Structure 1
């Protein structure tokens, strides 16, 4: 049985990914910032195959504690999904504050780096078929005029993914990324933006679902993708083609 950690997994893409892995027989560690989110475990019938650990990914020591928890309780980690992140409200270049810049970089870029480094080292040390998937964004590919810093951090995650794939080769841990387009999640809804402008620009003229992203994550983690590493898969309905 595989052991997986999905960060930021109490809603949206993270929760859908946790459910997909659980349904495929994987033991899943869910994560959020607050201990109050542990109630999410009620959604899973077999409590022996789920666990919860509260950790803020922008806190390096919290990630070390999370790693130690997994090592002590499960003895290994096979899959890591670095999903946790923040999506700031849309803002023009002249409206971006230093506080917004620092928070977005600390969580999205530094937090993802430390997640893949600290937890990835556990995958490399304990799993024979380790695999890591980062969650970036199409904004990191094309740039978003009202999300400059968010786009920059997601572009950084794309680069981190490729760099970690080159580093985690002996012992081999495959590292790939998913770049979602507009997905129907609480996080995307929180921006208050009208999604129609994005769906009008995609080839498949609708929003994606969290479950569709989770299916792509599952594929990249699995042995079906055994010859794939360092790649970014856009799950965007063809948005980046337009």
Structure 2
């Protein structure tokens, strides 16, 4: 009896809270884990959870590094793009360089990676892609306008690219988490209480909520879904 070959899954931005949960959700796969920083956290995760994984670091703001990175990327079965960070502040107070930095990580590096992987894959090889965007990419947020802008760009790419590559055995979908209980969203407890009062399900989302949805989108049960945006916000927005 032949053992089924493990799927190979690339997780970009694996060192963050959601990236860690996604890594565990795909623990049966051969994992390629990307991080710019947080390598020690990932090494500890690999050892602690006995994952079959290799580290594949890259500074996504460095175009030359990204170009070398994508050229060295092996064929994969799945890509989960979690990389990115938020930026708070009024537009009139923001340096335009901050928008450039967000764009490089959330949009340009994402597209360059996908472009390279799709171009190299065999025609009959199935590739599933999930982009972790944000609820603010759909509805927008004051004081997070730059962040909302690049997250909206991700969603536009997903919807358009799905139409282009569907015939070539590529599916691409996105999730838009709302208020997920992660260090990036840590604020004073009063703010969390206020948000929870506005969420119909009465709680903040967990990283596992996001990871399980991503796992579903990469499963055979979601084989007829592409170009889809799934909101994970407990009914908040």
Whole-angstrom CA distance in 2 between matches of 1:192 and 1:146: 20
Whole-angstrom CA distance in 2 between matches of 1:190 and 1:33: 25
1:65 correspondence with 2:68: yes
1:174 correspondence with 2:176: no
1:194 CA displacement: 2.6
- Report SS of the residue matched to 2:113: helix
1:234 correspondence with 2:236: no
Whole-angstrom CA distance in 1 between matches of 2:189 and 2:119: 38
- Report SS of the residue matched to 2:92: helix
Whole-angstrom CA distance in 1 between matches of 2:129 and 2:79: 5
Q: How many residues align?
A: 231
Corresponding residue number in structure 2 for 1:84? 83
Corresponding residue number in structure 2 for 1:33? 36
Unaligned runs of 5+ in 2: 1-5
Whole-angstrom CA distance in 2 between matches of 1:137 and 1:180: 5
Given the two structures, how large is their TM-score scaled by the length of structure 2?
0.88
Select between 187-196 and 210-219 the one with higher mean Cα deviation: 187-196
Superposition pairs of residues 77-226 of structure 1, within 5 angstroms: 77-88=76-87, 90-122=88-120, 124-125=121-122, 128-189=125-186, 194-226=191-223
Q: Deviations over 1:115-174 (max 9, x none)?
A: 32223434x437722100001100011110110111011111000111221222232110
Given the two structures, how large is their TM-score scaled by the length of structure 1?
0.86
Whole-angstrom CA distance in 2 between matches of 1:178 and 1:114: 20
Once superposed, what is the RMSD of the aligned Cα atoms? Answer: 2.3
Whole-angstrom CA distance in 1 between matches of 2:194 and 2:204: 11
Select between 37-46 and 129-138 the one with higher mean Cα deviation: 37-46
Conserved? CA contact 1:78–1:127, under 8 Å: no
- Report SS of the residue matched to 1:206: coil
Whole-angstrom CA distance in 1 between matches of 2:104 and 2:114: 14
Unaligned runs of 5+ in 1: none
Whole-angstrom CA distance in 2 between matches of 1:62 and 1:78: 23
Conserved? CA contact 2:128–2:218, under 8 Å: yes
